[in-house]
Amino acid sequence: MAFPVSLPLPLAEASPIDVLPADVTGLAMEVKLDGWRLALDTERGQAFGRRGTNLTSRFADIAAAARPLGPAILDGELIALNPTTGTIDFTAIQRRSPRGPRPGEDFMIAFADFDPLALGTSDLRSRPYHERRAELERLLQSAPAAITAVLTTQDLQSALAWLPAPGVECLVLKRKDSPYRPGKTAAGWLKWRERHPIDLIVVGVTAATPARQALVLAQPSPAPPAGCAPSPSLCPSRPRCAQRSRRCSTRREMCATCRRRLSARPGAGTGVATYRWCPKSSWRSRQTRRRRSSVGTVTTCARAESATT
């Protein structure tokens, strides 16, 4: 009898959600690893990406390792592992040559399977998820180390314990009675990503070619308590004015550039974001400019600017 499924074929996808459901009854939660989506034909030794890209030559080692499993179509995630630490390294997959494995690679490729689409002469896509999962676990009992099944649970606390972890991207929620359908809406899969927003500053860009560029980010120092004036050490790195006057006894009330004593500008806000001005340069207001620091905005006098530029 002919094999019921052939690659490439459209794959199921998960729709993102911002909040986990309050009731997870009837849901299975899987861990989503940081890798490349891959559909694997164990009988023909073929591998295709999510968009139908033929990756058979590039990951011939995975295709060869799956042959002993017998005829099957498997849907899963291709990951790269650091052999020393065992952690997932997403960038290592991109270093794999399109021609296939090369001697001396400093990473190991593995395939984490989460759904069997066909086994032998049976098309499993119309069967419910819990039956497909049982078939997958039976199939992988004698699988090589490079091929494994992703973690799954029906307990929410156990699933949350997987996050955060290196190489873990998010959680995927699937109804236990749902068939396998391609696309986002039809599949009914949901994915929830744990988010921790932080404020970062772009301070540079690496590499010269757009294909290899990456942003260099910096995290500002924590702001001082409300009511404190900007500290000179937190202001932009500028040489001190060569003709600065005697320092004020209160360091936090000095100009960020020339260290002269500052006075609060009336009606210019409160707390650490208060605008301040140097009395030495107040009569030359046209030649002053505001400079933003990590704790607020300060004004440097024209005399100091001319000595430091």
Enumerate the H helices of the chain as residue ranges: 60-66, 90-95, 129-139, 156-160, 302-308
pLDDT of residue 162: 92
Contact 101, 61 (CB under 8 A): yes
Among 192, 216, 251, the domain boundary falls at 192
CATH code for the domain in which residue 38 is found: 3.30.470.30
The count of domains in the chain is 2
The reply to whether 34 and 133 lie within a common domain is yes
Residue 218 counted as domain residue: no
Among 168, 192, 216, the domain boundary falls at 192
The reply to whether 158 and 280 lie within a common domain is no
Task: Answer whether 0.75 is exceeded by the pTM.
Answer: no
Output phi, psi for 281, to 5 deg.
Answer: -110, 10
Per-residue pLDDT of 115-165, as tens digits, reads: 999 999 999 999 999 999 999 999 999 899 999 999 999 999 999 999 888
* pLDDT band, residue 33 (cuts 50/70/90): very high
pLDDT of residue 223: 61
Determine the structural domain holding residue 144 and report its residue range: 14-192
* Percent of residues, the chain, with pLDDT higher than 90: 50
The reply to whether 62 and 188 lie within a common domain is yes
The reply to whether 187 and 247 lie within a common domain is no
Whether residue 246 has pLDDT greater than 60:
no
CA distance 112 to 95: 19
The reply to whether 47 and 169 lie within a common domain is yes
